[in-house]
Amino acid sequence: MKYCAAWGLALLLLLAGCTGTSDGSAVTTPTKLADASLVGLDVDNYPVVDGSTSALPLQQTVACHVLGLVCGWQSGFLFNETRSILPDFENPGPQAEVEFLFNLTHAGTHDAYMNLIRGDAELILVARQPSQDELLSARLRGVGLDVRPVALDAFVFLVNVENQIETLTIDQIRQIYTGKLTSWDQLGVDLSVDGVSAIRTYRRDRNSGSQELMESLVMGDENMIDSPDLLLYTMVGPFNAIGGDVLGIGYSVYYFAVYMLPTETVRMLPIEGVFPDSGRIADGSYPFATEVYVVVRQDAPSDSPGIRLRNWLLTPAGQEVVAQSGYVSIIAPEE
């Protein structure tokens, strides 16, 4: 019972500071447990799972179902700015399973890939395919990666709520981030601070999930302008920065913006006149719809916990869990 004191403190803090929340964006509390009995996993043989920051609630939802815990969205846990999927604190369930869930973490996209390549993780849930740097590292270690889509998400652009721009085209975004469009008035927006209307182009760090998506989905062969003073190193960074900067623009993923860090100071922009939502992501009408991936090593034994969990996630029952996490499933869940 070595975790007893720590768990007691965590539970007290949870009861004091956590609240189930909904922002009107179809955030639900997953109370119907999918049939995960065939996975055959428990706290003793559960695989080491890592992933993107934005995919942590997916792992939490999966673990809740596999371990038989009733969970839902909670906010305000300890000092975390983002929301998580955690046990129902009025009836949390067995202590060992609850402690296991509270200890789940994600290192971020790049570090998750590197942990999988090094053998420190058995399965990862990530917002993008491996980068060239990660593929090189895998090749040098003689490691093959098995990368499969498990959910749908979208790459989104963020502005301050006081910015009245209605939509951007893909070409306008490229011009902004190559420095060809430099002020909001060039886009027909009457917006300035102390007489300055310059667009402040926030960007993410190399190998982050958001940055790799920006380069692959949007920029292509075009080089982004260098803006080291506007470089952000965490998923929360664009929201904090743009929330306090009416001239700013940045990017993230839909799931993080809607489910993990909904805010009243930042809004998502329609692209080519199409606003990102789950329906437009599912039907592909939003131009920057993208996939979330489940990745294992190709040399993993076919009966290993990571492979068993991966295979179950790609079944209709597993996809039901994906949908309950808030992601758009890639196949129709079971009725």
With CA atoms as reference, report the closest residue to 125 among 35, 58, 30, 206: 58
What count of other Cβ atoms lies within 10 Å of the Cβ of residue 16?
8
Q: Is residue 27 a part of any domain in this protein?
A: yes
For residues 224 and 304, membership in a common domain is answered with no
DSSP 177-210: HHTS--BGGGGT----BTTB-B-EE-EEPTT-HH
Question: How much is the average pLDDT of 232-253?
Answer: 94
Q: What is the pLDDT of residues 46-92, one digit of tens each?
A: 999 999 999 999 999 999 999 988 898 988 554 467 898 988 877 77
For residues 158 and 96, membership in a common domain is answered with no
Q: Is the pLDDT of residue 330 over 60?
A: yes
Look at residue 55 and give its three-state secondary structure.
Answer: helix
Q: pTM of the full predicted structure?
A: 0.85
For helices 109-118 and 132-140, what crossing angle results, to 10°?
Answer: 10
> What is the greatest pairwise CA distance in the chain?
64
Which tokens go with 204?
């993410």
Q: Binning pLDDT at 50, 70 and 90, where does residue 331 land? A: confident
For residues 84 and 138, membership in a common domain is answered with yes
Q: Binning pLDDT at 50, 70 and 90, where does residue 21 land? A: very low
Look at residue 250 and give its three-state secondary structure.
Answer: strand
Q: What is the pLDDT of residues 83-101, one digit of tens each?
A: 989 888 777 788 999 999 9
Instruction: Give the lowest-confidence range in 16-30, 64-78, 108-122.
Output: 16-30
Q: Is the pLDDT of residue 4 over 60?
A: no
Q: Is residue 12 a part of any domain in this protein?
A: no
pLDDT of res. 34: 64
CATH number, residue 45? 3.40.190.10
Task: Identify residue 41 by its one-letter amino acid code.
Answer: L
Q: Is the pLDDT of residue 185 over 50?
A: yes
For residues 67 and 25, membership in a common domain is answered with yes
Q: Is residue 4 a part of any domain in this protein?
A: no
For residues 296 and 147, membership in a common domain is answered with yes
For residues 163 and 252, membership in a common domain is answered with yes
Q: Is residue 241 a part of any domain in this protein?
A: yes
Residues of the chain above pLDDT 90, percent: 70
For residues 162 and 275, membership in a common domain is answered with yes
Long-range Cβ contacts of 129-134 (<8 Å, 24+ apart): 129/293, 130/295, 131/207, 131/212, 133/207, 134/110, 134/207
Q: Binning pLDDT at 50, 70 and 90, where does residue 332 land? A: low
For residues 128 and 26, membership in a common domain is answered with yes
Domain range for 110 is 19-152+291-329
Q: Locate tokens 């046990």: which residue?
A: 87
pLDDT of res. 76: 59
Q: Is the pLDDT of residue 12 over 80?
A: no
Q: Output the CA–CA distances (angstroms, integers) from residue 189 to 35, 166, 197, 265, in the order listed.
A: 52, 9, 9, 18
For residues 269 and 317, membership in a common domain is answered with no
Q: Is the pLDDT of residue 156 over 90?
A: yes
Q: Is the pLDDT of residue 252 over 80?
A: yes
Instruction: Give how many domains the chain has, as a whole number.
Output: 2
CB of 55 closer than 8 Å to CB of 85 = no
For residues 63 and 116, membership in a common domain is answered with yes
pLDDT of res. 126: 97
DSSP 98-164: HHHHHT-----HHHHHHHHHHTS-SEEEESSPPPHHHHHHHHHTT--EEEEEEEEEEEEEEEETT--
Q: Is residue 197 a part of any domain in this protein?
A: yes
For residues 167 and 202, membership in a common domain is answered with yes
What is the spatial distance between Cα 62 and Cα 64, in angstroms, rounded to a whole number? 5
Q: How, if at all, do strands 231-232 and 248-253 pair?
A: unpaired
Mean per-residue pLDDT over the chain, rounded: 87
For residues 285 and 295, membership in a common domain is answered with no
Question: How much is the average pLDDT of 167-196?
Answer: 93
